[in-house]
Structure formats: C-alpha cells, structure tokens
Amino acid sequence: MASYSQVIGRLTLAAEEIASALRDARDRHIRLFRPSITEAVARLFSLSNSLQQLAETYSNARYQDSLYRIRHDVQMVCSSIRHTFEIMWSMVNRPPETQGMIWGDLDNRMKVQEGMDLLERLHRYQFFVHDVSNQLKGQEREDLPHQRARIENLLRAQEDTRFGGGSLHATEPVTSNPRPTIMRPSSRSSRHTPSDFSDFDDDDELPWAPEPPLDSPTFTVNSSPTAYSSQPSSYGFPPSHWAENIFNGQLEQSGVRTSFRGAYQIGDIETRCMGTPQPDARHLLALRGFRPLTALTFVDTKDEVTFYHRPSDNRARLLFSETISRNRVTLYSLPLDSLIAIRRYSVIHLCGARSDGSYRPWAYLKFMYFERLALFYSTFVALKRQDPRETRGPLIEDPSNMDEEEHYGGLIRAGDHMLHALRLLECRGSGVVRLEARAFRSSKDEVPIWTVFLTKYARDGDEEIFGCDPGSSLITMNRPKPEPFYFQSRYALPRTRHGDYRLQFASIEDASDLKASWNKLCNSARRT
C-alpha cells in the first residue's frame, strides 16, 4: 500500500501532467475556452507546488509524532483531488475535435452536479493543502474549519455523483484512448544525431490489451472510473512498484547528499540526449500500457528522465524529456535493454551497442551528488534485468565501472537456500560509503538487490552502527538513516523486534571481517 507521502507525490506529478496536457489542448484545439484553461493551468501548477510542500512536510522526521493531527485532512483532500483529476484526464483523453465541447460539459458538471466549478475547487485545494501543511507546523488558520467543511461537502458530492451513475457526457462513454501529446520542433535539435538503433523496437509493436481505463501516466488508481469501492473512507490508494520509492526524498530528509570532488566534477559535459526526437513518445508509452515509476530532474539543464514499466509483461523503458523553454520540451525514448549505463566521473553515459561491439552514446546524465548517481544506476540495472527480454552480452553492466573502492566482500544469507554477495564500497570521487547486496553465482550477478548509505556514520567514526557478538555470524545494523533502498519487489531485510536490520552471514569469518573492515574505515575517517 502506498504511503500518503507517495500519494501526495503522485498527485503533484499528475497536476503538472494535466496542466501540460491542457496547455497543449488549449493551443491546438480549444481556443474558445482559452482564458479559463489558461487560469486552470496556472492554478494546477500552484496546486502542484503546494502539494510538493505538503509532501516534504509530511515526510519530515520532525513532524512524525504529529501526523495524526492532519491525517484525516490529507486523506480527504487527496481523495477529492484524485476524483477531479480523473474527470480532467477523461477530457484530455478525448479526440481533439471533441475537447472543446467536453471542456464546457466538464465545468458545467462540476458546478451543477458537485456544487463547485473547476477554477474554484483548484483554488480551494491549493489553499487548503497549504494550510494543512502549516497546521502540522503549529500555524493553524482560524478559517481552516470552514475550508475543511467545503472540501468535505465537495468530496461527498463527488462520491454521490459517481456512485449514483453520473457521467461526464451522457451521450458518449469515457474511452481509454490516451491523450495526444503534441510537441513543437526543438530549437536545440541541431545537437542531435541519428542513433544506430530503433527507438520503438518490434517488441513494442506486439498487440497489447490495455487494462481499462488507461490511467494518467503519473496517476493510477485501483479501480476504473465506473467501478469504485463502496467505502468512500477507504481512499483506495494503489500498491507500489519498488521503483516508486527510490527518489522519494529520503536522501534530502536525512541530509545525505555528497557532491563530487575535484576532477570528478566534469564541467564540459551537460545532461543531454543524442537520440532521435519522438514527439509522440509519451502518447505511445501510454497507448502500449507503460506507466511511469519514478522521475529524476537534472539541475544543469532541467531535463528529466523517467523510468516506465509495463505491468503486463515487466517491460521497461526510459523517457528523456529535454527542456527547450518553459512551454516546450522534446521527448526521446528507448527500451532499457537496448542501453548500457557506464559511469564516467560524475556522468552516467547511456549507450547503445554497435554491431562491432563499440558503443554509441544515447544520453549523458550529469549528477551533482553521488548518492543519486548510485540510485539511478542501480534502478536502471535492476529494471533492465527484471525485463523478461534477454539482455545482449555487450549491454550487461560491469559493476567495476562504478569506480568504487571495495573495502569488504562477503556472503550473507537470504532465506534458507540463497546467498547474496555483500560489499562495503567507497566512491573515490565523493567519499560516499555504502553497503550493497547483489545476486551471487547468478547469470545476473551484476544486479543490485539493496543498498544503504553509511557515509555519515563512517565520517563520525560510529563503529556501533554494526553490532556483533563474538563468535556469531549475525550482525545487526542499527537503523541507519536513510533506510536501505530496495531494487526488487517482495524483499526486505529481516529486522529485530527493536527495528534493527539482521545480516545473517554465511560464516563467522565473513561477519567478523565486515566488522573489522568497518572499524578500519572509521579509524581512517577520524584521522582525516
């Protein structure tokens, strides 16, 4: 079950996606309603900003003991926003020639059937979300009960409309056609060169039956628009894919972000894609059943890379969104199994393989912090190798390309019959220390299973992060912050009743060697 902070994060992205889709539709098809749509776009972006602030506050460790005070408000407003967003998606998913009519029907339905038009509810959402966030900080406004009552009444009307069979447009059922994504030519296109490999390969042309309805690329729900839970208070949040939890703010909340030093800070390479632009890439991904898992924005160019996944067969793709201007982007997409990730200092090179075994760069991703580089690399490798399509030899990653010094290598048990290779690693370019487990004696032994960042404990000389009784093969890891990051589903490290992590080693020697290696690393950090 997704946490509320994750749900808020998805709504944040959904608000931006809908705003972008509305802006395209306004410019291309529904000029008649241009003023109201322009205002809706502005309010969606404002709402996205307020939701982002709420997510940060909700996840802040300082407020964890006070979350009960706002939980009902968060549940309520998220459910109402979700209902509104579903209606808006049903409009932008319609054929372009009908969008103007649907926009008018949408606003009328919201006002007549649910008592609040779109612009008013977006305005109320924004300020209510902002005030709920401030309430957690002890800054409650006097009119918050009035705002709460308005949102409660709206949610009740929304649920009455849905359970009562209300529809957006009685003469035309909601279709599952994804929204069109119309992009303008890129002014930066001169820097692109054709790639050696097809951007949408034959595998993606295979027939696929979508699960009705096709959800927003950043916003999914458990049920279809016509089949809802009969329990309005359950708020039916969707289950998570493991990748949705990777870039969720843990690093920032823990103060764990370590920049690259010296020569590792490459200055002459910027984040960019050298592939062939695909204006309809997002549309095609949605059409073929792919849904976004997690996205990462690069600060040097504001470009964004999003991992996509198809639940029906575990296929995985990457979408590169290149920012041209405030209102213009260029899109590129490739299957993960057609790329290899190679680290060069602070840059990940995503490359395709030529027939002669050499590589052609498809994209450069420049990172400011090693932790994010490591998480991106691990997510990329894990998703690619969990894709059922076999990865060709030249495209299989070599973990040594990560340029980390190995301080320890041993084996831990995962269940009764499985072993994982455990390594204590230090990045030469940033000094980041982490523990990583990978598959052992497997055709996929380059695939990470989990990692945990321990830099601050090493720098503080904290030898007690690992507890071990003499002569024991069991080591406990004392609740590090941030928590371990997992790169596969249905797996988590076992924990003690106190919440510490249990590392059961294959031998007493492996356990004692890790403890000795860690103590040596801590002593070295004290001397520097």
Is 61 within the bounds of a domain? Answer: yes
Nearest alpha-carbon partner for 309 in 202, 376, 221, 218: 218
Could you tell me if 472 and 382 lie in one domain?
A: no
Could you tell me if 316 and 332 lie in one domain?
A: yes
Is 391 within the bounds of a domain? Answer: yes
Contacts of 426 (CB under 8 A, 6+ apart): 404, 405, 407, 432, 433, 521
Could you tell me if 392 and 407 lie in one domain?
A: no
Could you tell me if 169 and 265 lie in one domain?
A: no
Is 189 within the bounds of a domain? Answer: no
* Residues 197, 203, 205, 211, Cα dihedral to 10°: -130
Is 197 within the bounds of a domain? Answer: no
Could you tell me if 58 and 131 lie in one domain?
A: yes
Could you tell me if 488 and 388 lie in one domain?
A: no
Strand pairing category for 404-413 and 419-427? antiparallel
Task: State the total domains in the chain.
Answer: 3
Could you tell me if 436 and 419 lie in one domain?
A: yes
Is 54 within the bounds of a domain? Answer: yes
Is 229 within the bounds of a domain? Answer: no
Distance between CA atoms of residues 68 and 205, nearest Å: 48
Instruction: Point out the domain boundary residue: 155, 174, 193.
Output: 174
For residue 468, the domain's CATH number is 2.30.29.30
* DSSP H stretches of helix in 60-198: 71-92, 99-114, 118-136, 144-163
Instruction: Point out the domain boundary residue: 174, 190, 217.
Output: 174
Could you tell me if 56 and 169 lie in one domain?
A: yes
Is 234 within the bounds of a domain? Answer: no
Instruction: Point out the domain boundary residue: 174, 189, 218.
Output: 174
Could you tell me if 297 and 343 lie in one domain?
A: yes
Could you tell me if 306 and 383 lie in one domain?
A: yes
Could you tell me if 39 and 157 lie in one domain?
A: yes
Structure tokens at 13: 């992205």
Is 153 within the bounds of a domain? Answer: yes
Contact (Cβ atoms closer than 8 angstroms) between residue 41 and residue 112? no
Model pTM? 0.59
- Residue 37's pLDDT is 80
pLDDT per residue rounded down to tens, the chain (528 residues): 346 677 888 888 888 888 887 777 776 655 666 777 888 888 888 888 888 888 887 777 777 777 788 888 888 899 899 888 888 877 766 666 566 666 777 777 788 778 888 888 898 998 898 888 888 777 777 778 888 888 888 888 887 766 444 433 332 333 333 333 323 333 333 333 333 334 444 344 322 222 222 233 333 333 222 222 222 222 333 447 888 878 877 776 566 778 877 777 777 788 999 999 988 888 888 888 888 888 888 877 888 899 999 888 889 999 999 888 766 788 999 999 889 999 988 899 999 877 677 788 999 999 988 999 999 999 999 999 888 787 777 778 777 778 899 999 999 988 777 889 999 999 888 889 999 999 887 767 788 999 999 999 988 888 888 988 888 899 999 988 889 999 988 888 999 988 899 999 999 999 999 999 998 998 887 666
Could you tell me if 164 and 281 lie in one domain?
A: no
Q: Which domain holds residue 430?
A: 403-527
Q: Is 320 exposed, middle or buried (0-12, 13-18, 19+ CB in 10 A)?
A: buried
